[in-house]
Structure 1
Amino acid sequence: MKPFIRTGLIASAIAFLLTAGAALYTWNALPAVGEVPVHWGPDGRADQFAAKSEAWIYLAILPGSILFISLILALVPLIDPRKQNIETGRRAYLATWIATLFVLVLVQGGISVSMLKSGADAEPSSMAVRLIIAACAALFIVIGNYLPKTRPSFMFGIRTPWTLSSDTAWEKTHRFAGPLFMLAGGLGLLGAFVFSGIWLALQLSVLVISVALASVVYSYFAWRGASDRDAGTGLTI
């Protein structure tokens, strides 16, 4: 097993234990009768409730997600046709892996705290929502920092028909997108503590989608000017 995959799996095991432990503690602490909050709006007010017998489903989502995501991330470097490029860019791969786990652990913590402290008549607080959005914004800062260091692969990075058919287009696109994702993450981090209501929930998504679309468009023009855009074997079957 590659050392960076082993490190990612160790981090995944820690993240799973933290989220599963938080889920188990929260479920045991919930009242046996009545309904408990399982979903909250941008203002922190609970808007969906369930009985304790159903609440475990919501608490189990993130531990299950960590297991699934970690399995995929561990397999990708083994099955990608350009696996050597993932190995070369392993720092970017591992940093993204661990940062994603951190966000999921924080989300589980926010859910557990909110589930235990909020109720239909409880004073709403948007702080948990703000912290989760801030963590997601920080994730995009990390991704943006490492994007220029990635190498062409079919399962990691900005994969368009043009970046996958030209190493030059890949490199130019990721150098272009990296700072933009960092900017989007920085603005989203600021917005997490400035905006309220629906814009608190939407602002980071709008920024990231805009950057992603700009990167896709740029990849086409980078490919148009690439010297290796027509590289191929010329063989027919």
Structure 2
Amino acid sequence: MKPFIRNGLLITAGAVVAGAAISAAATLSLPATGTFPVHWGADGAPDRWADRAGAVRYLWTMPVITLAVGLVLAAVPFIDPRKDNIETGRRGYVAVWLGVMVLLTCIHGGVALQMLQTGDDPGSSGQMVRWVIAATAILMVVIGNYLPKTRSSFFFGIRTPWTLSSDLVWEKTHRVAGPLFMIAGALGLVGAFVLSGIWLALQLSVLVIGAALISAVYSYFAWRNAPDRDHGTNLTV
């Protein structure tokens, strides 16, 4: 097993253990009766509730999700046709892996905390969406920082027909995409605490999709004059 994959699995194991500890502590602390929030709407307020048994199932599902995501990230370097390129950019891959695990663990901890605080301060649960968006925005900044350091891959990065057919276009596109994603993440982080209602839920998605679309369009124009672009396989069948 390659060292960077082993490191990622160790990070995953740490996140799963932390998640299990969060679930165990919350399970022991939840009141025997009452309802608890398990989902939050676009306005930041809880819109789905469960009894204690349902809340406990939800709590213990989250470490399983974290484990599944970690295993998928571990499998990608083995199944990507350009696996050598992922290893070349392994620092960025592991950094994003770490960021995803931290994000999932923070969401898990936030959900558990909001469940426990609901009985004391029902309004406090409405802040959950803000913190999730803020944590996701920080992850976008991390991804943007490492995008220019990536190499052509079918699973990671701005994957368009033009970036995948030219290493030069991949490099140029990700030099543009990196700052765009960092800006989107920074603006999304600010928006997480100054916006409300539907704009709170949509703003980060709009910013990230905008950054991705600009990068994809740029990749086409960069490809038009790329000296290493593919011109076909010359197959006659």
Q: In which range does the TM-score fall when normalised by the shorter chain?
A: over 0.9
What CA distance in whole angstroms lies between the structure 1 residues aligned with 2:7 and 2:230? 38
CA distance in 2, matches of 1:4, 1:37: 38
Q: What is the aligned residue count?
A: 237
User: Contact 1:43–1:125 at 8 Å: present in 2 too?
Assistant: no
Q: Which residue number corresponds to residue 209 of structure 1? A: 209
Partner deviation per Cα, 1:93-129 (whole Å, 9 max, x = no partner): 0111001111111101110000111159723454433
Q: Distance in 2 between matches of 1:123 and 1:134?
A: 19
Residues in 2 aligned to 1:103 and 1:81: alpha-carbon distance in whole angstroms: 28
Separation in structure 1 between the aligned mates of residue 3 and residue 121 of structure 2, nearest angstrom: 50
Paired residue for 2:24?
Answer: 24
Q: Deviations over 1:145-185 (max 9, x none)?
A: 10010000111111111111111111111111110000001
> For 1:192, what is the secondary structure of its paired residue?
helix
Structure 1 equivalent of residue 34 of structure 2: 34
- The residue number in structure 2 matching 1:222 is 222
Match of 1:117 in 2: 117
Please state if 1:47 is matched with 2:47.
Answer: yes
- After TM superposition, the score normalised by the length of structure 1 is 0.93
The corresponding residue for 1:131 is: 131
TM-score, normalised with respect to structure 2: 0.93
- Unaligned 5+ segments in structure 1 are none
Describe the SS at the equivalent of 1:193: helix
Q: Secondary structure at the match of 1:140?
A: helix
CA distance in 2, matches of 1:41, 1:153: 35
Identity %: 60
Query: What CA distance in whole angstroms lies between the structure 2 residues aligned with 1:94 and 1:161?
Result: 25
**Matching residue's letter, 1:71:** L
Unaligned 5+ runs, structure 2: none
* Alpha-carbon spacing, 1:231–1:89, altered in 2? closer, same or farther (3 Å): farther
State yes or no: 1:103 paired with 2:82.
no
* Residues in 2 aligned to 1:14 and 1:80: alpha-carbon distance in whole angstroms: 25
Name 2:178's counterpart in structure 1: 178
Instruction: Give 1:21 shift.
Output: 1.4
Q: Name the structure 2 match of 1:86.
A: 86
Aligned partners of 1:230, 1:16: CA distance in 2, in Å? 43
1:17 CA drift (Å): 0.8
Shift of 1:233: 4.4
